[in-house]
């Protein structure tokens, strides 16, 4: 067989292969156009948020409608992603379909760092200072109560908590980074006059922390009270570290 004939034969085989591939691709696309969504697989990338899978499936049904039975190529993925991202508990979302007819939705929840309670209003606070309304799920985080300087309406809608919320996030981060305090601080209350008040697992004292600042200095003085003063003269009813370089212990209030 001459070189020319071998070249013609190879070109013919390649042409047949290309035609077959094109026909197969066209057939696959046609079959996909006829494929309908048979199920929705919604998963959470973590278990840190208060919105459950059931909560978010309800959001999908209310805001998008029933996806099952819809032709797969007509499922509006970006609309589903935008719908989920608009939910106060959701940080991010990705949606896609697969050839078996499944609509996949992967949701990343906002991760709460504290639970805020103001009267009957309550919301989680995430690490960006955003308030998350409470849904079906529960998250074990420190609870902050009392005269929280945020409007009750923010608790219901989901919103940025502003400068005060950012200060609380910084405090929660400090407590989290110092494992000892994460185990010791059992509750935080906001007092309109004295600032933050804390309760400790190590004693009955009310710890008057004051403004949300000078973490290292204030926690250092609390530790000094716990290790040096309380064993000898305590317990006291209140321990005040809100003033610089002072530990004010009282047994009357």
Q: Is residue 150 part of a domain?
A: yes
* Average pLDDT, integer, range 194-213: 89
Q: Which two tokens stand for residue 182?
A: 């994460």
Q: Is residue 26 part of a domain?
A: no
The SS3 call for residue 215 is helix
What is the domain count for the chain? 3
pTM of the model: 0.78
Task: Please report, for residues 129, 131, 141, 178, 205, the alpha-carbon distance to residue 114 in angstroms, rounded to integers and kept in the order given.
Answer: 10, 10, 5, 16, 22
Any idea which of 8-12, 184-188, 218-222 has the lowest mean pLDDT?
A: 8-12
Q: Is residue 63 part of a domain?
A: yes
The residue from 109, 137, 155 where one domain ends is: 109
The SS3 call for residue 56 is helix
- In a shared domain, residues 203 and 253: yes
- In a shared domain, residues 188 and 244: yes
Residue range of the domain that includes 187: 178-253
- What is the predicted pLDDT for the residue at 152? 77
- Computed over every residue of the chain, the mean pLDDT equals 85
pLDDT for 13 beyond 60:
no
Q: Is residue 25 part of a domain?
A: no
What CATH number does residue 210 fall under? 3.40.50.11690
Q: Render pLDDT for 226-236 as a digit per residue (tens, 0 to 9).
A: 889 988 887 89
The residue from 109, 124, 139 where one domain ends is: 109
Q: Render pLDDT for 53-88 as a digit per residue (tens, 0 to 9).
A: 999 999 999 999 999 999 999 999 999 999 999 999
Element (H, E) at 91: strand 90-97
- In a shared domain, residues 74 and 91: yes
- In a shared domain, residues 118 and 105: no
Q: Render pLDDT for 91-103 as a digit per residue (tens, 0 to 9).
A: 999 999 998 999 9
């Amino acid at each position: 067989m001459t070189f020319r004939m071998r070249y013609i034969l190879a070109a013919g085989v390649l042409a047949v292969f290309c035609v077959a591939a094109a026909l197969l691709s066209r057939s696959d696309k046609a079959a996909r156009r006829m494929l309908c969504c048979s199920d929705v697989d919604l998963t959470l990338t973590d278990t840190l948020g208060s919105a459950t899978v059931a909560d978010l499936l309800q959001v999908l049904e209310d805001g998008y409608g029933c996806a099952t039975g819809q032709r797969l190529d007509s499922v509006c993925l970006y609309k589903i992603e935008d719908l989920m991202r608009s939910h106060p508990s959701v940080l991010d979302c990705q949606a896609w379909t697969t050839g078996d007819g499944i609509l996949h939705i992967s949701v990343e929840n906002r991760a709460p760092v504290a639970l805020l309670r103001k009267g009957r209003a309550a919301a989680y606070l995430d690490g960006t200072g955003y308030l998350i309304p409470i849904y079906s799920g529960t998250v074990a985080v420190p609870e902050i109560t009392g005269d929280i300087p945020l409007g009750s309406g923010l608790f219901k809608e989901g919103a940025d908590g502003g400068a005060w919320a950012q200060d609380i996030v910084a405090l929660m981060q400090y407590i989290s980074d110092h494992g000892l305090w994460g185990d010791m601080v059992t509750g935080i209350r906001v007092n309109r006059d004295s600032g933050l008040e804390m309760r400790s697992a190590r004693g009955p004292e009310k710890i008057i922390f004051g403004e949300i600042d000078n973490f290292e200095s204030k926690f250092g003085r609390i530790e000094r009270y716990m290790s040096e003063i309380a064993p000898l003269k305590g317990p006291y009813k209140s321990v005040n570290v809100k003033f610089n370089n002072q530990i004010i212990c009282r047994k009357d209030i």
